Structure 1
Amino acid sequence: MSENIIYYGPPGTGKTYWLQGLLNDYIDYTISDHQIIDTYTRNSEDWLLITLVILQNQGGIKATDIQSKVSSLGLKRALNVSAILETHSVLPSPLGVARKQPRIFFEYVPGKWYVDRARLLQFDPQFFEHYLSNSSVDRRYSFVTFHQSFSYEDFIEGIRPTYDETTKAIDYSPKPGVFKLLCSEAAVHPEKQYAVFIDEINRGNISEIFGELISLIETDKRKGAASELSAILPYSKEVFVVPSNVNIYGTMNSADKSIAAIDIALRRRFKFIPILPNSEIIKSELEFVGVNAYNIEGVDLIKLFNTLNSRIELLLDANHLIGHSFFLKVRTALDIANVLKERIIPLLEEYFFDDAQKIQLVLNSLDSNGNLKKDAVYCHTELPVDKYFPFVGDYLLEDRKRYYVASNISVASLQQIYDGIS
């Protein structure tokens, strides 16, 4: 059964990362036993052997089956597969077993092991080039990012002039777009699932990009469905129907002003799943690299994160919260300060462009009398009119404040953000 899903949420919640994680379900690896044996002979890394066996099986393989496969390869070395999976597991050990990098194995389905492709590439960005260069990697997906100039011609089909080397002339014949190409391949292999991933789906002109497909993508209008629907494409004049084995996934930034412009017709044809800020992800990801998120050189990052978001929601709304991904790479208090200075505060300045004092409220930079605190993160200086203008004529000028980020954001400054919050 096909599905159309849009994952939406505030900036920094990892929506694009979420899509990249889904790619695992749409990649087939053709890996021979000879390749596995040769790679292990040259590298002798137990985790690498297990990784290749899991990928050969396309994931979802029991530890006992991995053990049997390893034994059948005749490597003349006894391996405890369960221990290796546990040692390199993504999750922390409930029994206190020491973890080692790369931590890439996980049980998506209880009892069946998979390789976390995103973590694998974080550990070795050239993994597939290093170890699978001679194997067949079949990608059953397309990944696109919508933007203002992305069009129907790019997505479905259109006339895009190309130079023909044979005839030495310009070819003006209709060319298939990203989605049509994927559907053509999916129609040839109905036994496999295919997907198109659309990042920033709300930034494109939805009605123009989808055109007549806005009706065809409905799950009950797909090929073979009870209400199958087809359309004649305007350029090629071909009869087109969307295969039932094509899934459509998109991401949407809920803080983006263009979200209100999403076509009602599109809303009806997609499931909307929120991806929300989650301090537990910060906790687990930092724990993954041996950092205690509750005490980073004296700073309680979890309390700081939750406090910031609670204040933003009170002053604005839940669509403009701060995502957890901003803090996933911090290791020190200085890292936290730099994230605030370079990522969070510029975002807040965009949110509160017409009222910068609200940024001071979010960062707890003012005392109960409205005066600037000693260790304030977001500061201001007074700009009195009479100091700079001896005469203003008929202009009604008012004193103003110049806002700026403190040059030194100390541990005390960071603690002050959540000071007094129980």
Structure 2
Amino acid sequence: MYIDENVLKFYLDDNSNYEKLKQSKQAIGGRFEGVSNILSKAKTIKVDWKNIQEDINNYIAKVQKEFPKDSSNLDKYKSCERNFGLGRVFVVDKKLIGMTNQNDAFKKRLSEIEEDFVLKLLFVMSGYDFDTKKVVNEYRILSNKQKEYDFEGSTYSQRTCAWINSHFSDNTLFIEFVDFIKNCKEKYDGANIDRTNIALCYPGRVTDAKINNFNAVQEDYKKQQEILNFRFPYKFMWMWANADNVIHPISLDAFRNFLKSDFMQEIFKELSKDENFKKLECGLKYKDNKKDINKEEFSNFELEKYAEIITDCHFDSFPAIWQQVSDKIYSNFFQSDSDKVNNLQTLSKVISFLCIGETDMKNISDLLKAHKQIILYGVPGTGKTYSAKKVVYDWIDDENKIDKDDIKEFIKPYRFKKEDEEPSKNIVWDIVQFHPNYSYQDFIGGIAPNVKNDGSLSYTLNHGIFKKFCYCAAESLENNENKKFIFIIDEINRANLSEVFGELLYALEYRNESVSVANFDEFCIPSNVYIIGTMNNVDKSLATFDLALRRRFGFYEVGVDYGAIYNAFEESKQPNNIDSYIQRCIELNYFLSGSEDLSDYEDKKKKELEAIKLENTQDYYKIGHAYFMKIKSFMDKDEFVINPQHLEKLWIYHIEPLLMEYLGLSYDDNNIKERIGKIKEYFTKKLDEE
């Protein structure tokens, strides 16, 4: 979402606007309150390490019993002093195990503070939703990066990088987070804050350490500590520990997106003139893996680097930087510190509301409201027509639509008829599909031949579908009915648009203003009419789209939503290796487009994939998630594993025909055929199973 000073003031200066925003972001608001509650209690909780020793011993014993192979060396950790051993009990390389076991072990002792306090605290640190107990990408405070940087790291949860997210909490005792938060509140300055025994991940991810090699695990842990100094979790805990003094966004995505906003670019411009800010040290890790830390002052960097510097700087540098940034932002909206704690809380909430949770549907809806006519474009199979119908569904004011799975059936009664039979409806919609023979006469109207029963030929004046639609909308407007009329044009680029739209190019831009139409009275497009066109960009039609028409539309690219692949299956019937399958789909699109983010892969794996991808990759060669969801049709109801036979069928019946369309005549080139063969071999090989 676009964020500048006016947008923030819109919500901060008018309580009714703020309440509407909060109402529309209930899930994020609930998360914010939950995080605030748990971390506030973490700041004040009194737990004596000695008194909790018995619970820790019981916890370790349980881990040893459940996972003897992985934890055979835990006695050494158990006998160590707290400065290494008890602070980080490695459990097993599976998500959630450490968190749930800790909660069970310490639940009784801490029940007076908060029911399931330990689990909720660990869920805050790992991005898990309190209710569904699933990772929500927008709630995470760690990216998938293995090294020192979070600014460019993806927060998309996928099998190959799930460890870096959940194992941050799985392999760290909750008391370490509590102690660190307390240290942040008491000592404030980053350089003076003691680092507690917080683990980044299970051993062997950062180095080649094996769990049964105690010395190797110690070295692995030290390396993790070095990396954590540059990562976001320390910064997150510090901001929330000092929530009464600084802005505290809810997650890494909220923090990064806010720093990238237009508003923050203006703040950075002002700070770049502040002598005190310019002298602050950045504390950046050199990206060529040198051991030294770049302690240059802000004055040595361009404004474009500020957001990255603040996100990836060493923790020692962060508190001084963020305090000045927060003070500057605060002064833009509030003249007094008399209610600073509540003001900072509200400001942090608004930032979190605006900077995360902006789905494709929310952005499409906002764009349509602003432009009145938009075009959804993207590669085949990304759900462009579905998205258009989902806008209709979202705009319908009907309490019965909650939790409706079949959008298609629900919106049927709202479809346009010659006369609107139910004035109470707040939405009227219709859909047409353009094709090469679709004409002005079909769309607007004109003189058309008519063969009578006796075989004689006559000519009649016909009204086109869009003209009828607009007449109905204009009548509704005249009657002061609060209705919106949504007209969907599927495959809009397949017709000759200049010919089909004719003089409506003017009417699109100047709503409620009449234009002369041949053979008809003057005609206008009312202000309550909204147009959604859809088009595939595989044929590069955007480049040849009529310029006069193009500037009158807002364009929105609908991308591949890998998370939607889960929705092909009922939750209780999802294949055991669904995560591996989704990862394979991502890799296939990398082979074809070269544009998928593989920064979280090890170098050896990257080179393997690089050797397979097409030489002339194009972004519009990607395959949409709807194609990948078709894997379900090749599986029996009682099958819970996607096997190579299923992948082979998906390739033959759906993927290969699409590739032939993408590549055209070049598909027969021997070099391309050979490369496609390698891609097929990789895609259809056996998936990892969980």
TM-score, length basis structure 2: 0.36
1:213 corresponds to 2:213: no
- Distance in 2, matches of 1:239 and 1:285, equals 49
1:126 shift after superposition: 11
1:178 corresponds to 2:465: yes
Query: Conserved in 2, the CA contact under 8 Å of 1:11 and 1:320?
Result: no
Q: Secondary structure of 2:684's partner? A: helix
Structure 2 residue aligned with 1:400? none
Matches within 5 A, 1:200-279: 200-218=491-509, 221-223=510-512, 229-236=513-520, 238-279=521-562
User: In structure 2, which of residues 571, 577, 580 is the aligned counterpart of residue 295 of structure 1?
Assistant: 577
Are residues 264 and 306 of structure 1, via their aligned partners in 2, closer, same or farther at CA, if it must alter by over 3 Å? same
Are residues 356 and 307 of structure 1, via their aligned partners in 2, closer, same or farther at CA, if it must alter by over 3 Å? farther
- Distance in 2, matches of 1:150 and 1:318, equals 30
Aligned partner of 1:59: which letter?
D
- Distance in 1, matches of 2:525 and 2:542, equals 26
Aligned partner of 2:488: which letter?
F
Q: Greater helix percent: which structure?
A: 2
Query: Deviation digits for residues 116-148 of structure 1, max 9, x if unmatched?
Result: 443767xxx9999xxxxxx96977222111111
1:312 corresponds to 2:588: no
Aligned partner of 1:324: which letter?
H
Structure 2 residue aligned with 1:6? 375
User: In structure 1, which of residues 348, 351, 366 is the aligned counterpart of residue 662 of structure 2?
Assistant: 351
Query: Deviation digits for residues 226-248 of structure 1, max 9, x if unmatched?
Result: xxx32111122x11111111000
- Distance in 2, matches of 1:179 and 1:324, equals 32
1:23 shift after superposition: 3.5
- Distance in 1, matches of 2:557 and 2:683, equals 33
Are residues 278 and 24 of structure 1, via their aligned partners in 2, closer, same or farther at CA, if it must alter by over 3 Å? closer
Structure 1 residue aligned with 2:675? 361
Structure 2 residue aligned with 1:59? 398
1:325 corresponds to 2:636: no
Are residues 285 and 120 of structure 1, via their aligned partners in 2, closer, same or farther at CA, if it must alter by over 3 Å? farther
Structure 2 residue aligned with 1:336? 647
Query: Conserved in 2, the CA contact under 8 Å of 1:26 and 1:140?
Result: no
Query: Conserved in 2, the CA contact under 8 Å of 1:207 and 1:263?
Result: yes
Structure 2: any 5+ residue segments left out of the alignment?
1-368, 415-420, 595-615, 636-642
1:356 shift after superposition: 5.2
Are residues 127 and 175 of structure 1, via their aligned partners in 2, closer, same or farther at CA, if it must alter by over 3 Å? closer
Structure 2 residue aligned with 1:115? 404
Q: Secondary structure of 2:533's partner? A: strand
Structure 1 residue aligned with 2:449? 161
1:277 shift after superposition: 1.0
Are residues 168 and 303 of structure 1, via their aligned partners in 2, closer, same or farther at CA, if it must alter by over 3 Å? closer
Which structure is larger by alpha-carbon Rg, 1 or 2? 2
Are residues 344 and 140 of structure 1, via their aligned partners in 2, closer, same or farther at CA, if it must alter by over 3 Å? same
- Distance in 2, matches of 1:179 and 1:119, equals 21
Structure 2 residue aligned with 1:98? none
Are residues 3 and 116 of structure 1, via their aligned partners in 2, closer, same or farther at CA, if it must alter by over 3 Å? farther
Are residues 362 and 60 of structure 1, via their aligned partners in 2, closer, same or farther at CA, if it must alter by over 3 Å? farther
1:15 corresponds to 2:384: yes
Q: Secondary structure of 1:21's partner? A: helix
Matches within 5 A, 1:31-42: none
Query: Conserved in 1, the CA contact under 8 Å of 2:389 and 2:408?
Result: no
Query: Deviation digits for residues 168-222 of structure 1, max 9, x if unmatched?
Result: 964423211111010011111122111210001111101000001012112xx11
Aligned partner of 2:506: which letter?
S
Query: Deviation digits for residues 272-326 of structure 1, max 9, x if unmatched?
Result: 111111211113443546213x615xx9211211011111113321112000001
1:163 shift after superposition: 4.6
- Distance in 2, matches of 1:175 and 1:142, equals 18
Aligned partner of 1:251: which letter?
T
Aligned partner of 1:180: which letter?
K
- Distance in 2, matches of 1:189 and 1:280, equals 40
Q: Secondary structure of 1:328's partner? A: helix
Aligned partner of 2:581: which letter?
L
Are residues 347 and 213 of structure 1, via their aligned partners in 2, closer, same or farther at CA, if it must alter by over 3 Å? same
1:59 shift after superposition: 2.1
- Distance in 1, matches of 2:503 and 2:413, equals 41
Query: Conserved in 2, the CA contact under 8 Å of 1:142 and 1:178?
Result: no
Structure 1 residue aligned with 2:125? none
Aligned residues: 273
Query: Conserved in 2, the CA contact under 8 Å of 1:183 and 1:246?
Result: yes
Query: Conserved in 2, the CA contact under 8 Å of 1:308 and 1:363?
Result: no
- Distance in 2, matches of 1:148 and 1:170, equals 26
- The percent identity for this pair of structures is 34
Aligned partner of 2:398: which letter?
G
Q: Secondary structure of 1:329's partner? A: helix
Moved more, 171-180 or 278-287: 278-287
Query: Conserved in 2, the CA contact under 8 Å of 1:279 and 1:302?
Result: yes
- Distance in 2, matches of 1:356 and 1:350, equals 17
Are residues 153 and 346 of structure 1, via their aligned partners in 2, closer, same or farther at CA, if it must alter by over 3 Å? same
- Distance in 1, matches of 2:631 and 2:670, equals 26
Structure 2 residue aligned with 1:195? 486
Aligned partner of 1:204: which letter?
A
Matches within 5 A, 1:42-57: none
Q: CA RMSD in A?
A: 3.4
1:6 shift after superposition: 0.6
Aligned partner of 2:648: which letter?
A
Query: Deviation digits for residues 233-264 of structure 1, max 9, x if unmatched?
Result: 1122x111111110000101010243432111
Structure 2 residue aligned with 1:414? 684
Query: Deviation digits for residues 28-87 of structure 1, max 9, x if unmatched?
Result: xxxxxxxxxxxxxxxxxxxxxxxxxxxxxx4247xxxxxxxxxxxxxxxxxxxxxxxxxx
Query: Deviation digits for residues 101-128 of structure 1, max 9, x if unmatched?
Result: xxxx7xxxxxxx353443767xxx9999
